[in-house]
């Protein structure tokens, strides 16, 4: 878990005073790019970690080497616990690390630090849904990513085609409680839904990962590709301005207001196909007027005719 690494990174900095990203990567058995991102995350969270360029440089804590966490200010301790706290809500390992970290703090800081850790929690369950369990293969895949070992997968695609692949696991992403594995394959980078992985067998073969790989950047590219596929068809509609927030709730980022005239808004909405747009708009009845394109209007007319015929 990243929370464990951040705590380990901070403790290592205090023990050694200064470390390079390469030294940290060797110590924690992670990639140099991951070590650099963790150091930057600590700095962004308000922890006084700064880089020093040039020969003999590296990353240091302001004030030099420290043997424990008593050198942290109250504000810095709160920043660290705000960063790690949410992970502790869903991870026993992160929770254990947090308890150890509390004991390493000065007594005067502990109450505020614990309050910061409890200030945020993660509830991955949507309203009206049962609690979803994390896929059992996530932990196995996380271990493979950290240990840099290749994994043999049996995977079922969206078209229910089953294939076997040997992949280099690069990172895992939890998006709205659906887990994805980003991995290197013979055909380049690929993204796999973990709940579609039928079998996962770690091997002892070392995996390879580009030195410049950044999980956040890779995932941003994946999101961009998916969102582009999800908005291949666009329609222009008229709706009362007061209903625009509700419409945006249906279409998310694929909803753009072009103009507002006399209490009505001209809005562009996007979806994969004309039928997908029509299905989302049919329930609005006469409150929405579709100006274009004709295929969306035709699908609405067809849906309306089916309803009239049946009811």
Looking at 226, 245, 260, which one is the last position of a domain?
226
Range of the domain at 293: 233-310
Task: Give the DSSP H or E segment for 240.
Answer: strand 233-240
Assigned token pair, 245: 């927030």
User: Which is it for the CA torsion 88, 93, 99, 100, positive or negative?
Assistant: negative
| Number of domains composing the chain | 3
Residue 122 — φ and ψ, nearest 5°? Answer: -115, 120
Quote the pLDDT of residue 88: 64
Asked if residue 191 is part of any domain, the answer here is: yes
Domain CATH number, residue 216 = 2.30.30
The pTM of this model reads 0.55
Residues 214 and 239 in one domain: no
Tell whether the model's pLDDT for residue 105 goes beyond 70: no
Helix axes 2-16, 74-88, angle to 10 degrees: 150
Nearest Cα to Cα of residue 138 among 166, 93, 180: 180
Asked if residue 266 is part of any domain, the answer here is: yes
Quote the pLDDT of residue 133: 67
Residues 10 and 67 in one domain: yes
Quote the pLDDT of residue 106: 61
Higher pLDDT, 82 or 301: 301
pLDDT band (50, 70, 90) for residue 19: confident
Quote the pLDDT of residue 64: 47
Looking at 204, 226, 248, which one is the last position of a domain?
226
If one counts every other C-beta atom within 10 angstroms of the C-beta of residue 177, the result is: 16
Quote the pLDDT of residue 103: 64
Output helix, strand, coil percentages for the chain, rounded to the nearest 5: 45, 25, 25
Tell whether the model's pLDDT for residue 126 goes beyond 70: no
Quote the pLDDT of residue 23: 86
| Contact (CB, 8 A) for 34 and 86 | no
Asked if residue 124 is part of any domain, the answer here is: no
Residues 222 and 254 in one domain: no
Residues 12 and 37 in one domain: yes
Residues 170 and 253 in one domain: no
Helix axes 274-282, 294-310, angle to 10 degrees: 50
Quote the pLDDT of residue 234: 95
**Per-position b or e across 2-12, b if 16+ CB within 10 A of its CB:** bbbbbbebbbb
pLDDT band (50, 70, 90) for residue 74: low
Asked if residue 82 is part of any domain, the answer here is: yes
Asked if residue 89 is part of any domain, the answer here is: yes
Higher pLDDT, 64 or 145: 145
Span 47-62, pLDDT tens digits: 777 777 766 678 887 6
Quote the pLDDT of residue 67: 40
Residues 147 and 197 in one domain: yes
Span 226-264, pLDDT tens digits: 888 888 899 999 999 999 999 998 888 899 999 998 889
Span 167-196, pLDDT tens digits: 999 999 888 778 899 999 988 999 999 989
Asked if residue 203 is part of any domain, the answer here is: yes
Looking at 183, 204, 226, which one is the last position of a domain?
226
Residues 255 and 192 in one domain: no
pLDDT band (50, 70, 90) for residue 159: confident
| Contact (CB, 8 A) for 85 and 95 | no
Residues 219 and 256 in one domain: no
Tell whether the model's pLDDT for residue 219 goes beyond 70: yes
Residues 203 and 159 in one domain: yes
- List residues bridging with 288 in a β-sheet: 239
Nearest Cα to Cα of residue 255 among 246, 212, 263, 264: 246
Task: Give the DSSP H or E segment for 8.
Answer: helix 2-16
Max CA separation in the chain (angstroms): 80
Residues 10 and 111 in one domain: yes
Quote the pLDDT of residue 51: 79
The mean of the pLDDT values for the chain is 82
Residues in CB range of 50: below 8 A, 6 or more apart: 43, 59, 60, 62
């Amino acid at each position: 878990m990243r929370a464990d690494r951040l705590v380990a990174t901070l403790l290592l900095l205090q023990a050694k005073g200064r470390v390079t990203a390469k030294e940290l990567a060797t110590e924690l058995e992670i990639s140099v790019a991951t070590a650099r991102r963790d150091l930057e995350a600590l700095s962004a969270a308000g922890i006084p970690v700064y880089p020093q360029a040039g020969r003999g440089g590296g990353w240091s804590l302001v004030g030099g080497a420290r043997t424990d966490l008593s050198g942290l200010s109250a504000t810095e301790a709160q920043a660290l616990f705000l960063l790690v706290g949410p992970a502790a809500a869903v991870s026993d390992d992160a929770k254990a690390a947090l308890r150890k970290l509390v004991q390493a703090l000065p007594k005067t800081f502990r109450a505020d630090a614990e309050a910061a850790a409890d200030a945020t929690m993660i509830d991955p369950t949507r309203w009206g849904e049962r609690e979803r369990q994390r896929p059992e293969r996530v932990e196995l895949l996380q271990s493979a990513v950290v240990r840099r070992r290749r994994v043999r997968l049996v995977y079922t695609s969206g078209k229910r085609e089953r294939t076997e692949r040997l992949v280099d696991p690069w990172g895992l992403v939890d998006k709205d409680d659906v887990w994805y594995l980003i991995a290197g394959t013979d055909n380049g980078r690929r993204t796999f839904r973990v709940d579609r992985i039928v079998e996962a067998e770690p091997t002892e073969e070392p995996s390879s990962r580009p030195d410049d790989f950044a999980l956040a950047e890779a995932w941003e590219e994946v999101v961009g590709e998916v969102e582009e596929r999800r908005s291949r068809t666009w329609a222009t509609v008229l709706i009362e301005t007061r209903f625009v927030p509700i419409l945006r709730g249906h279409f998310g980022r694929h909803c753009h207001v072009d103009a507002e005239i006399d209490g009505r808004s001209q809005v562009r909405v996007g979806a994969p196909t004309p039928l997908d747009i029509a299905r989302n708009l049919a329930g609005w009845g006469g409150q929405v007027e579709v100006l274009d394109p004709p295929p969306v209007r035709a699908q609405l007319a067809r849906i309306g005719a089916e309803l009239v015929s049946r009811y």
